[in-house]
Structure formats: structure tokens, C-alpha cells
């Protein structure tokens, strides 16, 4: 059976290469030469000697497995023309070569240059040719074959090699492969000798396959995934395909099994059997008796003329199995054996099985009969120290972080991941959209419409599906990314649909069905009037409608479209570059309002920064261009919701809250009656403990636990919170926090881990304004300065600058530099987006304070205040500033800005100053503890926080606006000798940096930002939201509700000295 398939493949390949051999003399510049002697794809399986060992699924316990990971000998040349194959000869002395770890990306080990580019190919595009120097890495590894492997087939497995390679064993050429993100396997049995053997590999950085791998990530090279050997008996289980189906009630299941066996022609399998046994998580047998089928029945299966063969060669009815879902990822283990005529186990292997059914009918995506939303993220393979060669520890860390932050889905953008990642998604519960290693962005649809590339397109799809078909976590197959649309994609879809009808087919590029009455050609001027609404009826060979980066309003339009009858998914949205991911909650208000919206995948998971050190030993994260790489796309690879070191960025906390599976809203807030909505699809609220906490002015004063209300998935329930309201003060602010914590430890978090929370400000309570301390002040005017002085204070107002140039209490200067108005912020990546004309228009505000003109300066009647009015150089806008000093030296600051008729929006409206670096502790009552902004503060709690002042910032890989805290009632910065308290009237935003705005704006990397001996403090009415629908168009700007677009704004605050944070807390 195997030989018959291999012969057909060989003949087709031979015919296709007859005319191409002369036209394309180099294998790595020949689109139809994608392999020589490479074995057919199959599921990830490991051979075991018996059922018991196979049940463990631990390959390290198998005597038929041998890892070749570790140190290899390595030689590197920068040009393919300088590479020779002499090293592959028997007896070659490689003792003078370097050592390199495998797996690794050789650029991360000092060989060649990492290149980051998004769309542009890293070489001049003239397919299939590589028109630039093509570096080559040559590898050697010696290994010893165990004695008990004699008379077995030995398979050499490469998990991933970028981008093309030749393989030799003991001086004999074994084969060739290309395709960077899928395994290549070779049967090396006939090349082996007893004892020590040698494998030699020559890897080309670029090949014609690189034209199909134009993804937005670091271009790196080498053997970047694991290498190992397996020994198989001559008659073996070559492949295993498993499906599950559920009945109409989604209760009972059918387990369906299709093996593929390798049986040599000279072997008579009469009396041999293939057997299967299912086990639960406790190791108990599930089905009654072992399933069995004769090997001859498998080998001589009849293929009908007018129908395909049924999938199942073996099947079993399973009564009410535990269903697999992301919420309850229950895994059974299927052990299959091959027994000879005497009943001896010749071969055994195993795979996990999750009983689940995926459906997408009537425009709704369902799992096990329940509508499911995808709280997803796009994920690239990336390690800050290893590049594309990520470790199992890093893969597990990714999955655990996703679970802990309420994400339930991942798109493997834009290539298949290592099998271990899928294992972890199976185990911990993450839905996976598995994507083909295919992107031709730089030449758009050229390749999909070219028959010379059909073989390569289909092969990449086939190998992905064959390898990953048994993972229950995989819910859909994606045909790649940004590669145009054409017959080659249709061919991929056709093969997948016939082979695996149990999962949906996805391809964002399949937009527009020419047979549809609403079809608008992309070349039409009408198409770009509404590009997100145009052609919603995609090609019929995709099962879901996929879009990138629609605005919430465009998404709403798609959901309401009468033409769309398929589920809709955002394969990319919320571009999280730098300080971003604003108004995520708006997307989810829309998604939760429409059953046909599946959800989406945020772009993307991890900042692809590479950890480097500058000449002074300071660490920073490098991005495109930092290695002299050309072409490059700069920091466009820095757009994750986790940092390169896999720590949570502030945006991830917003995701956790917006995505939380439980939400509470008030029914009667005054009487503390609430409704809980269980957003989960399969789980009640029983696993959670409902805790409540009441904070008075930010400090907890009451708390308790409430009996968890009964609430089925998708339903709601009411409950009451027993706050003792008799103890509440009229003149304090009370915030009620409701938290849902794990009652017991689960696979990915400990007991007590917070899953979801909501908080509410109780009505009928309000903090009174601070009492004014009366006292006498004296005002003197001297040129541009007005001095307000009293018993223990002196305040100097610089009329020309609208600033407090000096603020002394008991003769001690409180500021390092003036307190002055501020309208500008250091631009974020979204602010600097190429198409963001809205922020470009705001640049006129950058120097508005420096260039404003004094209109008047008036001293108060009681000599304790000054009012200054200015004309701003922005369409005749005006600014009025009022400084007032109380008897104890407390400084009142208020400001009014009136924008001119045609003035653009304000980037910010506030004041800034510099204070001594000795103020090392900060406390604040506001949103925290992490950075938050006007349009990204849902995931921050209103409470009293205390932190080292030096830790209030967030270090984005490319320095930009950071560290803001919203809805702040008061904050204080103190040191050993006291400090300053700022009290809002009633709320402000604030940030504190150990550097200036100019320092931040000039720096390109975090190591370039100096640490000053003072802190820059911003006290804002507000600043522009962070935005981030994308980072290249006008949609990069914050949504309209989070812009300073009004014609006028007014706000105020007070500043006063305090001895300690405790005193500041009492003064509020």
C-alpha cells in the first residue's frame, strides 16, 4: 500500500520535472523540486514496544526513539557559491569547525544577519531565483545506533529547517527538502553501518520556497526545530487518523479510526491484526474489549468508482464521553497496536483523543452544539534569545499565559507550529486555527495563479493537515496569509475539504465571489469606498468570512449584511504595536451582540524584540534595522500584548478583563442587588468562589464571601451583596469589588486565582472638597514675574510662560523645574502611523506653550492669586490659567482652554513639572496598578496603590508615551524628608518618569533613555486615547469618544507639601 502511493508520487514528480530540470538547474531555485526521497507526511507519532509504554505517550521511555538535539559541528559561508559538499564525505575531519546547538537559528549564534521585513522580500523578487548572496550552513553530527535497532527501519526526522537542505548519511546523499515549518523525514536504513554513523546537513538560507514564506517576522535560518531518530519494525503503523462524531443530542459519540500501515512486499501479513484500545485520564479502559481488524482487510480495502471510501476502518460507540472544549480539555488516550499471527505486539503507538464536534452552519460557529466566541490572538514563534528556535518551556509558558488572561484561541500565524505547542493546546484548552506556511505578500497573487507553483501550494497544505489532524484543539485550517487568491488556493481547499470535512476552511484572501450579484472588482473605484463591506460573499471554498482590521462600525455592518450566511471572524484586529489596544471593549460589545460574529485574533502575541546589549552593557530589545539588515521594517515587529521576555504588557490586563467569562451588572446598586452573566459555553459557576470587597477611599473596610449562585452556561442569575451600609460615611467614596476566584487548583492556576471581576461606585456618597486654609498673602510684580508670599511660602509666577517658576515652603524649593501647561505627548506608534493624518494635524500643539502670547495677568483682590490669559498659536485658541495660594502654602491650579474654530484635537491638556529624584515613593488613589489610559482602563481597578516611583513607567521597546494612571483622585510623591501631594478636582490622569519628554521622544531604544536625578510629572485633565484598530491608517487614532475634540475644557488640582504618604491619605 505504501509502496503503491510512493510510486505514484515518484512518477508524478518525475513527469513534472522533465522539462523543469533544464530550465531550473538548481534544486533550490526550482518551484517543482520541493523534495527528494522525503517520506510522506503523517501524524506526529512515536513507536513503542508495548501497550503499557505507549499509554504513557512519553517518547523518552521508548527504546525506539533517540534525540539528536544538542551540539553539532558547524561551518558557515556567506555565499552559496563558496559552499562545497566535501564535508559530507566519509572520514571528513570537522574538528576545526565551530560548535552550534541544534535546534537554533544560526543568526542568533553570530552567523549572518537577522532580517526583519514585513512585506518586502529580503531579496530582489524574480521568482524562482535568489538574486542576492545566499548563506549556507553545513552541519555534522555523529551518532551510534543501538544494537536492538538491527533489522529495523531507521527514520531521520527534522522538525523544521529554514529554508532548504540536503542530507547525507555516511557520505551518501539521502535527500533534499524545503519548506521551513514542517517536518522532513528520510528513511536512512540502507545508509547505516554498525556502530558510529554520521549525518551531514547543508542548509540554504534562501530557496524558491522563500517566495512562499514572506511572513511578517524575523527571517532566520538553520535547523530551528528538533532532530531525532526513530526505529520502526519492517511492518509498522506508519500513520493514524482519528475522528470523533457526536450524536444529534451531543451526548454519545462514535470513535472513528483509520490507520495507514507499511508492509513490505515480501511479508505475508496473514493472521496479523491492527488493534485499538481507548483509555480515560485515569488509565481505565473505556470501550468494552479491544477493537480489532485484520491487516489484510486494511491492505485490500476496496475503493468504489462513484463514492469515496468511508473514513472509519475501525469504529466504536462511546457512551456519553467527557467532551473536549477549551473550558474542559478532557483527553482520552488511544493506544493502537500491530500484532503478528501469534498475537505478539510488533508495533505500538498512541495519540490523545478529544471528543468534540465543530460546526459552522446557519452562520454560527459551534463546538459540541454550543455557540462559541473566539477570544484569540495571533502567535509567531519567537524567543528574545533564541529567535525562531523556541523551547518547549517557552511554548508552555505561552499557553499558560493565554489561559490565565482569559484567551481561548490562537491562530498559528503564519505557519504550522511545533507539535508540542498543539499538545499543550490540547491539554490546557486553547482552540487553534492552524495556518499553512504560505504568504506571498510581496508579490500578492502571482503565485496562486501560476501552475508552476501548484505542487508547492498543495504540498504545504497536505503536510500540515496530515501532521496535525488528530489534535482536538484544531478547529479550522487556514490556507495561509496575504497571498492573493487563485486556483492554487482553491486546489488546497478542495483537497482539505475532501480529506477532512470536520473542520472549517479559512482564508482571509478569499474575498469576493464573482458569481455573486453584490460582487465589486477590487479594481473598481467603488470597492475602496467601503473596503470592509465590499464583497462579503467570499469564495465558496471557504467556510467562514474572514476580515482584517475592520473598525467596530465596519464589523457591525458585516454582521448585519443580508449577503452573509457564514460565520464572520476577524483573523487580525486590535493591532497592539507599542502603547496600543485601545477600546477593545467596543469590539466585544459588537461581537457579543451578533451570533454570527465568531470573535477574532488580536495582532499579535509577543513583541518580536531580540535581547541585545549596548556598548555600556545596558540591555535593550533590538528590532528591524538594528543589525544593519536591509531591507527592514523597523519596529513593526514590536506589536505584541506580551513583551519579548514573556511578561504581560499593560494591554494584556485589558484583554483579561474584556475577555472575562463572567460579568456582573447592577440591578439596584443602592440596595446592592446584582445580575451575573455566565459567558462560558459549557461550565456553570460552581468552580468559582464569589468574593466581595468594599473600599473606602481606596482602602478595604469590609469584605466577605457570597454563596455562588447557580447559573448555567450562557444564562444569568441574581444575587445580593451583604454590605453593612450602616457603617458607611456620607463624605467618603465607596467602591464595591466583586471577584470570581478559582475554588480549587486546576491545570493552569492555583486556588484563589482571580478569573473575573467587576467594581461599582456606590451612590449617595461623595468626598467633600478640601477645606480652604485662610491666610494672608502679599503679591509683588517684577517684570515678567509675580511673587505671592505668605508666612511659610513663596510662589513665583512667570507671566510670559504661564508657569510656576518657583514654589518654596519654609524656604525649600519643591520643584526642580517650572510647573507649566502642556498640550503635547510623546507620540505612540499609533500616533506616528503613516496614514494617521488626525494626529499629524495635532502636531501644531507641540510648541503651543513655548510660543503662546500673554494677553493679560491679573492679581486677585486678596493678593493670593494670579489669573493669566494667553493666545495660543493654534487658530487663535486661548488659555486661561489661575494660580491661587492658601494660607498654608497649598497651591490651587486651574486652567481653561478654548480652541479656535478650526483648531485640531488636543493630544493632551494638562500641566507638567519636574520634582527631586529623592521622592522615591509614590502613592495614588486611582486606576491601577498597571498603566492605563482613557480608552484602555477597563482592566484597571480603582484603589489606593503604593509603589516605588521608579516603577511607575512602562518600558516599551521603542520609547513612547507611557506610564499613565487614569481617574486619579490624589497622588503623593515622598522621600525621607516628605514630599508633595496632588489632589484632583475631582479627577486627573498622571504619570511620573525619571527622564524628560525630550529624552523619550529622541530615543529609539530603551537603553538610550537616560535616568535623570529628577522626575518629570504630568498632571492631566486627560490625554488622547491610545487607539490601535491598526497602526498605518487613520484608524490608528483613538475612537472619537476618546479624543479631546470639544471646543473647551476646564479642570483643576491642588499641590501641597506633605510629610508622608500616611499624611496625604488622611488629608484626602
Q: Which residues are catalytic?
A: 482, 572
Nearest-angstrom CA–CA distance, 1042 and 907: 11
> Strands 374-378 and 597-602, how do they pair?
parallel
* Contact by Cβ (8 Å): 218, 205: no
- SS3 call for 399: helix
* Contact by Cβ (8 Å): 376, 410: yes
> Strands 568-573 and 597-602, how do they pair?
parallel
> Strands 662-668 and 673-678, how do they pair?
antiparallel
Written as one string, the DSSP assignment of 285-308 is B-SSS-EEEEHHHHHT----SSSP
Nearest-angstrom CA–CA distance, 646 and 640: 10
Tell me, what DSSP letter sits at residue 130?
A: E
The CA dihedral of 320, 326, 332, 338, to the nearest 10 degrees, is 120
Contacts of 905 (CB under 8 A, 6+ apart): 838, 841, 842, 1024, 1043, 1044, 1045
Q: In angstroms, what CA-CA distances link 185 with 44, 230, 347?
A: 12, 10, 19
* Contact by Cβ (8 Å): 935, 961: no
- SS3 call for 5: helix
Half-sphere exposure of 905 (CA within 13 A, CB side): 22
Nearest-angstrom CA–CA distance, 423 and 404: 18
Q: Which residue has the cell 493552569?
A: 748
DSSP element (H, E) containing 892 = strand 891-898
For residue 1046, cis peptide bond before it (omega within 30 degrees of 0) = no
- DSSP E strand stretches across 725-832: 734-742, 754-761, 778-782, 785-789, 793-798, 803-809, 812-813, 817-822
Half-sphere exposure of 761 (CA within 13 A, CB side): 15
Residues found in the chain: 1068
Nearest-angstrom CA–CA distance, 1066 and 473: 54
> Strands 125-126 and 172-178, how do they pair?
unpaired
Of the candidates 577, 618, 576, 608, the one whose C-alpha atom is nearest the C-alpha of residue 115 is 608
Tell me, what DSSP letter sits at residue 708?
A: P
Of the candidates 910, 901, 913, 935, the one whose C-alpha atom is nearest the C-alpha of residue 823 is 910
* Contact by Cβ (8 Å): 814, 807: yes
Nearest-angstrom CA–CA distance, 541 and 544: 9
Nearest-angstrom CA–CA distance, 873 and 748: 56
Nearest-angstrom CA–CA distance, 59 and 1033: 49
> Strands 409-411 and 374-378, how do they pair?
parallel
Q: In angstroms, what CA-CA distances link 670 with 477, 594, 759, 917?
A: 50, 32, 14, 45
Report the sign of the C-alpha dihedral through residues 886, 892, 898, 899, in that order.
positive
Q: In angstroms, what CA-CA distances link 846 with 800, 873, 907, 908, 998?
A: 17, 10, 9, 10, 11
Extract the C-alpha cell encoding 79.
555565499
Nearest-angstrom CA–CA distance, 363 and 536: 13
Task: For 677, list phi and psi in degrees, rounded to 5.
Answer: -110, 125
Amino acid at each position: 500500500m505504501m509502496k503503491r502511493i510512493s510510486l505514484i508520487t515518484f512518477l508524478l514528480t518525475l513527469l513534472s520535472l522533465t522539462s523543469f530540470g533544464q530550465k531550473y538547474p538548481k534544486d533550490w531555485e526550482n518551484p517543482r523540486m520541493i523534495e527528494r526521497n522525503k517520506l510522506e507526511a503523517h501524524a506526529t507519532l512515536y513507536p513503542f514496544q508495548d501497550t503499557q509504554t505507549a499509554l504513557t505517550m512519553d517518547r523518552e521511555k521508548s527504546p525506539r526513539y533517540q534525540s539528536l538535539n544538542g551540539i553539532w559541528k558547524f561551518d558557515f559561508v556567506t555565499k552559496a557559491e563558496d559552499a562545497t559538499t566535501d564535508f559530507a564525505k566519509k572520514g571528513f575531519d570537522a574538528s576545526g569547525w565551530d560548535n552550534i546547538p541544534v535546534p537554533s537559528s544560526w543568526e542568533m549564534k553570530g552567523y549572518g544577519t537577522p532580517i526583519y521585513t514585513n512585506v518586502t522580500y529580503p531579496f530582489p523578487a524574480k521568482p524562482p531565483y535568489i538574486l542576492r548572496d545566499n548563506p549556507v550552513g553545513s552541519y555534522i553530527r555523529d551518532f551510534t545506533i543501538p544494537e536492538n535497532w538491527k533489522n529495523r527501519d531507521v527514520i531521520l526526522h527534522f522538525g523544521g529547517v529554514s529554508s532548504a537542505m540536503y542530507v547525507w548519511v555516511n557520505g551518501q546523499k539521502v535527500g533534499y527538502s524545503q519548506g521551513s515549518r514542517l517536518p522532513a523525514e528520510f528513511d536512512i536504513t540502507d545508509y547505516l553501518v554498525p556502530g558510529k554513523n554520521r549525518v551531514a546537513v547543508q542548509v540554504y538560507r534562501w530557496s524558491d520556497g522563500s517566495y512562499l514564506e514572506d511572513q511578517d517576522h524575523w527571517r532566520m535560518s538553520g535547523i530551528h526545530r528538533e532532530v531525532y531518530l526513530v526505529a520502526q519494525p519492517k511492518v509498522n503503523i506508519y500513520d493514524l487518523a482519528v475522528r470523533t462524531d457526536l450524536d444529534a443530542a451531543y451526548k454519545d459519540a462514535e470513535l472513528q479510526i483509520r490507520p495507514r500501515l507499511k508492509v513490505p512486499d515480501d511479508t505475508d501479513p496473514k493472521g496479523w491484526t491492527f488493534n485499538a484500545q481507548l483509555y480515560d485520564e485515569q488509565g481505565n479502559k473505556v470501550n468494552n474489549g479491544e477493537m480489532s481488524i485484520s491487516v489484510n482487510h486494511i491492505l485490500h480495502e476496496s475503493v468504489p468508482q462513484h463514492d469515496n471510501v468511508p473514513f472509519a476502518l475501525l469504529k466504536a460507540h462511546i457512551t456519553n464521553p467527557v467532551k473536549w472544549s477549551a473550558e474542559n480539555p478532557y483527553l482520552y488516550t488511544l493506544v493502537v497496536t500491530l500484532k503478528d499471527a501469534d498475537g505478539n505486539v510488533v508495533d505500538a503507538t498512541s495519540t490523545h483523543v478529544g471528543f468534540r464536534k465543530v460546526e459552522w452552519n446557519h452562520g454560527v460557529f459551534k463546538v459540541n452544539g454550543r455557540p462559541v466566541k473566539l477570544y484569540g490572538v495571533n502567535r509567531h514563534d519567537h524567543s528574545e534569545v533564541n529567535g525562531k528556535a523556541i523551547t518547549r518551556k517557552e511554548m508552555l509558558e505561552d499557553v499558560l499565559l493565554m489561559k490565565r488572561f482569559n484567551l481561548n484561541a490562537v491562530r498559528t500565524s503564519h505557519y504550522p507550529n511545533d507539535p508540542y505547542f498543539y499538545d499543550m493546546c490540547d491539554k490546557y484548552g486553547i482552540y487553534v486555527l492552524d495556518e499553512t506556511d504560505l504568504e506571498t505578500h510581496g508579490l500578492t497573487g502571482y503565485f496562486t495563479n501560476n501552475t508552476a507553483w501548484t505542487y508547492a501550494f498543495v504540498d504545504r497544505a497536505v503536510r500540515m493537515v496530515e501532521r496535525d489532524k488528530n489534535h482536538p484543539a484544531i478547529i479550522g485550517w487556514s490556507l495561509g496569509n496575504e497571498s492573493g487568491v487563485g486556483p492554487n488556493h482553491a486546489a488546497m481547499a478542495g483537497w482539505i475539504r475532501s480529506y477532512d470535512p470536520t473542520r472549517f476552511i479559512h482564508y482571509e484572501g478569499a474575498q469576493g465571489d464573482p458569481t455573486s450579484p453584490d460582487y465589486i472588482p477590487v479594481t473598481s473605484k467603488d470597492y475602496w469606498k467601503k473596503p470592509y463591506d465590499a464583497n462579503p460573499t467570499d469564495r465558496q471554498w471557504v467556510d467562514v468570512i474572514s476580515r482584517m482590521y475592520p473598525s467596530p462600525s465596519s464589523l457591525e455592518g458585516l454582521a448585519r449584511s443580508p449577503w452573509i450566511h457564514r460565520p464572520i471572524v476577524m483573523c487580525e484586529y486590535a493591532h497592539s504595536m507599542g502603547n496600543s489596544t485601545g477600546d477593545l471593549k467596543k469590539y466585544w460589545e459588537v461581537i457579543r451582540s451578533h451570533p454570527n460574529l465568531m470573535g477574532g485574533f488580536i495582532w499579535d502575541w509577543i513583541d518580536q524584540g531580540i535581547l541585545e546589549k549596548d556598548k555600556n552593557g545596558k540591555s535593550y530589545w533590538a528590532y528591524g534595522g538594528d543589525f544593519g539588515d536591509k531591507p527592514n521594517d523597523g519596529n513593526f515587529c514590536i506589536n505584541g500584548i506580551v513583551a519579548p521576555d514573556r511578561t504581560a504588557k499593560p494591554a494584556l490586563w485589558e484583554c483579561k478583563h474584556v475577555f472575562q467569562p463572567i460579568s456582573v451588572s447592577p440591578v439596584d446598586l443602592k440596595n446592592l442587588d446584582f445580575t451575573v452573566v455566565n459567558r462560558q459555553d459549557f461550565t456553570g459557576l460552581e468552580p468559582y468562589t464569589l468574593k466581595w470587597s468594599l473600599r473606602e477611599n481606596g482602602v478595604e473596610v469590609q469584605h466577605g464571601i457570597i454563596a455562588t449562585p447557580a447559573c448555567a452556561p450562557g444564562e444569568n442569575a441574581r444575587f445580593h451583596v451583604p454590605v453593612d451600609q450602616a457603617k458607611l460615611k456620607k463624605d467618603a467614596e465607596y467602591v464595591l469589588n466583586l471577584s470570581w476566584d478559582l475554588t480549587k487548583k486546576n491545570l493552569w492556576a492555583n486556588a484563589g486565582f482571580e478569573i473575573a471581576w467587576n467594581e461599582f461606585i456606590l451612590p449617595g456618597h461623595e468626598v467633600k472638597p478640601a477645606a480652604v486654609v485662610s491666610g494672608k498673602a502679599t503679591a509683588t510684580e517684577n517684570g515678567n514675574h509675580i511673587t505671592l508670599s505668605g508666612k511659610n511660602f513663596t510662589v513665583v509666577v512667570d507671566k510670559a510662560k504661564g508657569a510656576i517658576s518657583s514654589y518654596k515652603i519654609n524656604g525649600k524649593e519643591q520643584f526642580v523645574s517650572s510647573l507649566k501647561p502642556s498640550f503635547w505627548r510623546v507620540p505612540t506608534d499609533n500616533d506616528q502611523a503613516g496614514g494617521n493624518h488626525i494626529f499629524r494635524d495635532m502636531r501644531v500643539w507641540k510648541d503651543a506653550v513655548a510660543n503662546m502670547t500673554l494677553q493679560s495677568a491679573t492679581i486677585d483682590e486678596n493678593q493670593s492669586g494670579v489669573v493669566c490669559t494667553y493666545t495660543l498659536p493654534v487658530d487663535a485658541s486661548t488659555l486661561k490659567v489661575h494660580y491661587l495660594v492658601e494660607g498654608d502654602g497649598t497651591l490651587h491650579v486651574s486652567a481653561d482652554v478654548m480652541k479656535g474654530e478650526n483648531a485640531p484635537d488636543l493630544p493632551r491638556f494638562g500641566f507638567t513639572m519636574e520634582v527631586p529624584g529623592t521622592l522615591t515613593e509614590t502613592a495614588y488613589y486611582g486606576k491601577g496598578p498597571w498603566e492605563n489610559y482613557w480608552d484602555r482602563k477597563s482592566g484597571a481597578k480603582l484603589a489606593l496603590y503604593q509603589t516605588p516611583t521608579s516603577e511607575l513607567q512602562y518600558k516599551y521597546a521603542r520609547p513612547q508615551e507611557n506610564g499613565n494612571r487614569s481617574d486619579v483622585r490624589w497622588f503623593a510623591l515622598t522621600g525621607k524628608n516628605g514630599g508633595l501631594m496632588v489632589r484632583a478636582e475631582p479627577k486627573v490622569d498622571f504619570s511620573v518618569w525619571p527622564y524628560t519628554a525630550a529624552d523619550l521622544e529622541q530615543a529609539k531604544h530603551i537603553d538610550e533613555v537616560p535616568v535623570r536625578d529628577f522626575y518629570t510629572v504630568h498632571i492631566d485633565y486627560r490625554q488622547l486615547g491610545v487607539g490601535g484598530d491598526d497602526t498605518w491608517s487613520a484608524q490608528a487614532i483613538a475612537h472619537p469618544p476618546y479624543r479631546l475634540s470639544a471646543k473647551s475644557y476646564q479642570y483643576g488640582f491642588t499641590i501641597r507639601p506633605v510629610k508622608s504618604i500616611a499624611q496625604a491619605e488622611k488629608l484626602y
